Structure 1
Amino acid sequence: MTERPSMEVAVIMRRERLANRWQPWRWTLEDVVPHEPSFGTGPRLLVQDEAGERWLHPGFTVELFRDDAEGYYLNITTPAPCWFVMWRMEEEPGLAAEPIPRPVVVTLSYHDAGRWLDAQETVEQVPAPPDVIEWVRAFVDQHYVQEPKKRRRPQSFRALQDRFGNPASVTTEKKFGGGHE
């Protein structure tokens, strides 16, 4: 069995201050970066100041699956190909005083992101770097086969209907008004 193409990445989440008394902070996805051994295996605080915080979440494997080649194709053919990250807020006792965002999965597939959004999950995106886009493009070129467009039958054989779905007819005879006798 052949191994699927994959790469190891880490996710950086940012907590930023808002000018809102009901919600003073918000969490957002800042970046997806290549994983390095020095990152370790668990989340860690990178920066904390009056403007906010940045947390590093290492150890995510992004795999490319042949049966999702269309999802990768849809991503790389957009004007701005991107990483998609699904994350949830979780309590981290001993790590942070308040709940922090915990990335769950990282992908490059539009289909995955769409399914997660349909399931009401939090999904954010950040631009993918050119080397990652080329990696995905090579995979798509090798595995994606675009479905042939199906020919639409001419509409001339269908019965005419009015806007209410009732049978309608077309005639060239004048039904109303004064005609020449």
Structure 2
Amino acid sequence: MSTAESSSPAARPALDVAVVMRRERVHGPSAHWQPWRWILDSVVPDEPAFGTAPRLLHDHDGAQRWLHPGFKAELFRDDAEGYHLNVTTPAPCWFVLWRMEEEPHLADEPIPLPVVVSLSYNEAGRWLDAQETVEQVPAPPEVVEWVRAFAAEHYVIEPKRRKRPESFRPLVDRFGNVASVSTEKKRGRGAGDV
């Protein structure tokens, strides 16, 4: 995979990629309601020959593959933890956020349109928290090593702070004012004192 970096000193490391989406037949009882489903097939290096517009690669008995070129997977220093988390899992991967197109203009029916490609575990988590459709496919070893080198250079593990035992915390009342507890018996006139 080739990197796409500009000559400016603030350029972010990036890879030019294309996304392949696949339509496959659904089997089993749910096929009655939904005979087809779309899934992420792969993330591949983008090539100039791909052009800039999505195109149908394969259509056989309704099963389809669509190529979506023109994506850039960038690495951001402030997301180094997300890259570190990805490359230290047993199966490092690409994350792709995609949505179904509202108006069919590329095909006779709606097709999925990838929106963004990332290698950050944290970014994928934020997308999922926002109820987006996110899928993953394995990243090739050379991409994993590229991300691993970036994470090693920029990720700083936060030192764990020792938590102070609860017994050392000051007592406060329900209004946040410092409270005190005494074990001494209060002195004063009691009911039996004359």
The answer to whether 1:92 aligns with 2:100 is no
- Residue 49 of structure 2: aligned partner: 38
Could you give the per-residue CA deviations for residues 103-153 of structure 1, whole angstroms, max 9, x where no partner exists?
000000111111111111100000100000000011011111010011122
Q: 1:2 offset after TM fit, Å?
A: 2.2
For residue 11 of structure 2, what is the aligned residue in structure 1? 3
Structure 2 unmatched runs, 5+: 1-8, 171-194
The 2-side partners of 1:132 and 1:57 are apart by 19
**Other structure's SS at 2:86 match:** helix
Q: Does 1:61 align with 2:46?
A: no
Secondary structure, in 3 states, of the residue corresponding to 1:83? strand
Task: Name the CA distance, whole Å, in 2 between partners of 1:156 and 1:82.
Answer: 45
**Shift in Å, 1:96:** 0.2
Aligned to 2:135: 124
> 1:69 is paired with a residue of what secondary structure?
helix
Higher Cα Rg, which structure: 2
How is 1:70-149 mapped onto 2 (pairs within 5 angstroms)? Answer: 70-90=81-101, 91-93=103-105, 95-149=106-160
Q: CA deviation at 1:158?
A: 6.7
Alpha carbons of structure 1 residues 100 and 51: separation in structure 2 relative to 1, 3 Å? closer
> Secondary structure at the residue paired with 2:32?
coil
Residue-pair matches, total:
158
Q: Which runs of 5 or more structure 1 residues have no equivalent in the other structure?
A: 160-181
Q: Which letter maps to 1:67? A: D
Percent of residue pairs identical: 71
**1:115 corresponds to which letter in structure 2?**
R
Tell me the residue number matched to 2:21: 13
Instruction: Write the deviation string for residues 50-107 of structure 1: whole angstroms up to 9, x where unpaired.
Output: 15100000000011000000010111111111000000000331x2000000000000
* C-alpha distance in 2 between matches for 1:99 and 1:74: 34
SS at match of 1:55: strand
CA distance in 2, matches of 1:89, 1:102: 6
What TM-score does the superposition give when structure 2 sets the normalisation length? Answer: 0.78
d(CA) in 2 for partners of 1:18, 1:111: 31
2:60 corresponds to 1:49 = yes
Q: What root-mean-square deviation, in Å, do the aligned CA atoms of Structure 1 and Structure 2 show?
A: 1.4
Aligned-pair CA distance for 1:16: 0.2
Q: Which secondary structure state, in structure 2, belongs to the residue aligned with residue 114 of structure 1?
A: helix
SS in 2 for 1:8: strand
